[in-house]
Structure 1
Amino acid sequence: MFTVTVRDHLMVAHSFRGDVFGPAQRLHGATFVVDATFRRPELDQDNIVIDIGLATRELGAVVAELNYRNLDEEPAFAGVNTSTEYLAQVIGDRLVERVDARARGLSGLTVTLSESHVAWASHDREL
């Protein structure tokens, strides 16, 4: 299996519903390092997994749609607890569409959002 990972960062505001979230039920900010790891079992005819420039550009475009936003005010997230895990899934879904992953022969994508050096969450999907 071959992989290529590209990185960006994301800053949002949001709040959660439910006692499990304690003080995070109030509006607060979150800053994430976002890693997107593209996978394929064999290299393509150019001996790459994905063009790193394309992957970087498209991850940046997905992140830009969310960056510096209060997610509580975004219609796409109405009534949703925008947990780190959930945001990893949203970013992955949007990224797969933007890079046309299946047409490029990719077999999987993992998106990891790191809140700090001790806490992160990922969403892994097969394509």
Structure 2
Amino acid sequence: MYELVVERHFSAAHFLPNYPGPCSRLHGHNFIVRVYVRGAQLDAMGMLVDFGVLKKALLALLEELDHYNLNDLPAFAADNPTTENVARWIADELGKQALGGATVHKVEVWETPGQAAAYYPLPPAA
């Protein structure tokens, strides 16, 4: 089994309605996103997936979040834009894309240097 990881950043604001604390007010983060993909087979070039393909796919998603208020985005219309839900959204959206022989294993979203959420998507149904 092979595993690749790419890391990218984005900045966004959000607030958590009905949260009993300061996060109920509008605030922002400089998020760090790490995406881990896994697979058992390498392609003819000896790659699981080209890093460029993976980075391009992630950057396209992060452009949908970067410098926005996450609460205003359709992706979070039904869910609070918590770090957990951001990680799930990224994993779900990346999972819809062709990534060679790789599948998304884990997405970490760091909202500060000391705290992060990770999401592990369920393996595809056989």
Q: TM-score, normalising length from structure 2?
A: 0.86
1:32-54 CA distances to partner (integer Å, 9 max, x unpaired)?
Answer: 11111110134333322211010
Letter in structure 1 aligned against 2:83? T
Q: Is the 8 A contact 2:95 2:104 kept in 1?
A: no
Q: 109, 113, 119: which is aligned to 2:109?
A: 113
Q: Is the 8 A contact 1:5 1:38 kept in 2?
A: yes
Aligned-pair identity in percent equals 32
Letter in structure 2 aligned against 1:120? A
Aligned-residue RMSD, C-alpha: 1.7
Structure 1 stretches of 5 or more lacking a match?
none
Q: 113, 119, 123: which is aligned to 1:123?
A: 119
**What residue number does 2:79 align with?**
80
Structure 2 stretches of 5 or more lacking a match?
none
What is the SS of the residue equivalent to 1:115?
strand
What is the SS of the residue equivalent to 2:80?
coil
Q: TM-score, normalising length from structure 1?
A: 0.86
Letter in structure 1 aligned against 2:40? P
Shift of 1:76: 2.9
1:1-127 paired onto structure 2 within 5 Å:
1-20=1-20, 22-98=21-97, 100-101=98-99, 104-125=100-121, 126-127=123-124
1:75-120 CA distances to partner (integer Å, 9 max, x unpaired)?
Answer: 332242111111001011111223x24xx33244211111233211
Q: Is the 8 A contact 1:17 1:25 kept in 2?
A: yes
Letter in structure 2 aligned against 1:70? N
Stretches (4+) displaced over 3 A: none
